[in-house]
Amino acid sequence: MSEKQDPHVTASNAQLPPTMVRATLRWDAVSLRWRDLAERRKDHFVELYQTGRWRH
């Protein structure tokens, strides 16, 4: 059986130009902040629902 390669595999940092590594790190930080915000909002909505304070 032949193994399929994942088309979404990214290069290691050693294979990337330095400017691309810095940009990738910045975008990773941005995405982590957005993810943190989404998780906090979700937790808030769950709390509203569980306490009966949820309003449409």
Q: Tens digits of per-residue pLDDT, 34-46?
A: 999 999 999 999 9
Q: Tens digits of per-residue pLDDT, 12-38?
A: 767 888 899 999 999 999 999 999 999
> Can you give the pLDDT at residue 35?
97
**pTM assigned to the model:** 0.62
Could you tell me the residue ranges of all domains in the chain?
17-51
What is the b/e burial string over 13-51, where b = at least 16 CB atoms within 10 angstroms of the residue's CB?
Answer: eeeeeeeeeeeeeeeeeeeeeeeeeeeeeeeeeeeeeee
